[in-house]
């Protein structure tokens, strides 16, 4: 932790001056700015080329600080105690006297909030007197970043500072649950919904492609490496990058393993770096082996389905 302290100070310096800084989290890297500063928040949207109607997630280290901005409820307390800090984002009612910039929420009366677990980012948050708005640190509609080098690929030197950590442990974005009414899943992600259901003793309903979009992250094309993707493919031609989750007898150059033993956690961790690598290697098409629709497999399928909307 000591080793990182000067970097945390540097990140704080930029953030205090309304600049954007990339931060490591256990899900994916974030592009962070002071959530109370419209100036800083506008810069995030501009850098990401993100449409202004797509609201940001705000990151806290303490519930006490969150309560300055949002109303909490019994479901929140239960889930917070069990899963936070961790890969779960809550949509809560925004308090009238909250200082959150209106650009964060696009004037919505709700706010998405998260308590990241990554130790560097927790330490950073503890040293700030404002929460951090941070979408994933990638260009809008593209593949998220799980390593510092991915951020350079997307933004070059446009970001003032990258607070570097290791490869994100979970590798896909947080699960989003709306608690402003009856609990509802808005985005599948790094926390399995089966675990959430067990904790709140409620069956959660979600539709991967609902007609009415309540979280703009449910937009159809997203997480795209910019290549056509075909799903549920058993055998692919040699010139097609074949993404696999089970070891095959004879390896081939175009095989890209997310896991060799159908381990869905490992597969989630490797998903985005593999999509980026395939693109870098010059492949023009991607095929993906069938991935089970349970646990994190649901989240991986969700990401790949959206990425497959690229034509
Ligand atoms: O794991 C994560 O959640 C990462 C790390 C950096 O924390 N962040 C992330 O942010 O994935 P982003 O901006 O890429 O995705 C945020 C999603 C978007 O789909 C957005 O539409 C949704 O959260 N969202 C934000 N505020 C919302 C709100 N008030 N109501 C419904 N959806 C909301
Ligand atoms: Mg994103």
CATH number at residue 120: 3.90.870.10
| 236 in the same domain as 201 | no
- pLDDT per residue of the chain (311 residues) written in tens, 0 to 9: 455 689 999 999 999 999 999 999 999 999 999 999 999 999 999 999 999 999 999 999 999 999 999 999 999 999 999 999 999 999 999 999 999 999 999 989 999 999 999 999 999 999 999 999 999 999 998 999 999 999 999 999 999 999 999 999 999 999 999 999 999 999 999 999 999 999 999 999 776 554 555 555 556 788 899 999 999 999 999 999 999 999 999 999 999 999 999 999 999 999 999 999 999 999 999 999 999 999 999 999 999 999 998 87
Kindly report the CATH number assigned to the domain that includes residue 241.
3.40.50
17 and 120 fall within a common domain: yes
295 CB within 6 A, ligand 1: no
Residue 79 to residue 1: CA distance in whole angstroms: 28
199 and 235 share one domain: no
Query: Same structural domain for residues 77 and 172?
Result: yes
**Which of 163, 215, 219, 221 has most ligand 1 atoms within 8 Å of its beta carbon, as the pocket-test mutant?**
215
Residues 300, 165: one domain?
no
Q: Compute, in angstroms, the gap from residue 296 CA to the centroid of ligand 1.
A: 18
Q: Which domain holds residue 279?
A: 229-307
What pLDDT, on the 0 to 100 scale, is given for residue 212? 54
Q: Is residue 113 part of a domain?
A: yes
CA distance 293 to 47: 34
CA angle 21, 28, 160 (to 5 degrees): 15
Regarding the beta carbon of 245 and ligand 1, being less than 6 Å apart is answered: no
Q: End of a domain among 148, 175, 206?
A: 206
What per-residue confidence (pLDDT) applies to 211? Answer: 52
Overall number of domains in the chain: 2
Same domain flag for 70 and 129: yes
| 188 in any annotated domain | yes
Say what the pTM is: 0.96
Q: Does residue 218 sit within a domain? A: no
Judgement on whether residues 110 and 141 belong to the same structural domain of the protein? yes
- 104 Cα nearest atom in ligand 1: 26
Considering the domain architecture, whether residues 258 and 193 belong to the same structural domain is answered as: no
The reply to whether 202 and 233 lie within a common domain is: no
Q: Does residue 212 lie within any of the structural domains?
A: no
Looking at the structure, tell me whether residues 174 and 285 fall in a common domain.
no
Identify whether 219 is part of a domain.
no
Closest ligand by atom to 214 CA: 1
pLDDT in tens, 232-241: 999 999 999 9
Residue 23 alpha carbon to ligand 1 centre in Å: 15
Q: Is residue 172 part of a domain?
A: yes
Centre of ligand 2 to C-alpha 253, Å, is 30
Atom of ligand 1 nearest to the CA of 138: 14
Residues 143 and 249 in one domain: no
Neighbours of 11 (CB within 10 A): 27
Strand blocks (E) in 6-109: 21-23, 30-34, 57-59, 70-71, 88-94
- Residue 1: the pLDDT is 45
**Are both 234 and 295 inside the same structural domain?**
yes
């Amino acid at each position: 932790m000591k080793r990182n302290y000067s970097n945390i100070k540097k990140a704080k310096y930029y953030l205090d001056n309304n600049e954007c800084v990339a931060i490591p989290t256990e899900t994916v890297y974030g592009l962070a700015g002071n959530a109370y500063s419209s100036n800083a928040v506008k810069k995030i949207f501009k850098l990401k080329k993100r449409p202004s109607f797509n609201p940001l997630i705000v990151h806290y280290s303490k519930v006490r600080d969150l309560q300055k901005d949002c109303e909490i409820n019994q479901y929140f307390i239960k889930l917070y105690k069990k899963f936070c800090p961790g890969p779960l984002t809550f949509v809560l009612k925004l308090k009238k006297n909250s200082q959150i910039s209106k650009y964060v929420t696009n004037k919505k009366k709700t706010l998405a909030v998260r308590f990241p677990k990554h130790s560097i980012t927790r330490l950073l948050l503890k040293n700030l007197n404002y929460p951090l708005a941070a979408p994933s640190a990638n260009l809008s509609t593209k593949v998220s970043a799980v390593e510092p080098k991915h951020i350079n690929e997307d933004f070059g030197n446009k970001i003032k500072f990258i607070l570097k950590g290791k490869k994100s442990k979970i590798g896909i974005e947080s699960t989003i649950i709306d608690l402003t009414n009856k609990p509802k899943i808005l985005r599948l992600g790094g926390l399995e919904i089966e675990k959430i259901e067990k904790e709140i003793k409620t069956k959660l309903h979600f539709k991967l492609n609902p007609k009415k979009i309540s979280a703009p992250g449910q937009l159809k094309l997203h997480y795209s490496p910019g290549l056509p993707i075909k799903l549920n493919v058993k055998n692919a031609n040699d010139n097609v990058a074949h993404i696999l989750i089970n070891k095959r007898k004879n390896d081939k150059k175009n095989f890209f393993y997310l896991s060799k033993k159908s381990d869905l956690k490992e597969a989630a961790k490797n998903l985005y770096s593999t999509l980026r690598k395939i693109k870098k290697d010059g492949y023009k098409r991607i095929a993906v082996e069938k991935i089970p629709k349970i646990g994190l497999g649901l989240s991986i399928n969700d990401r790949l389905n959206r990425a497959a909307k690229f034509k």
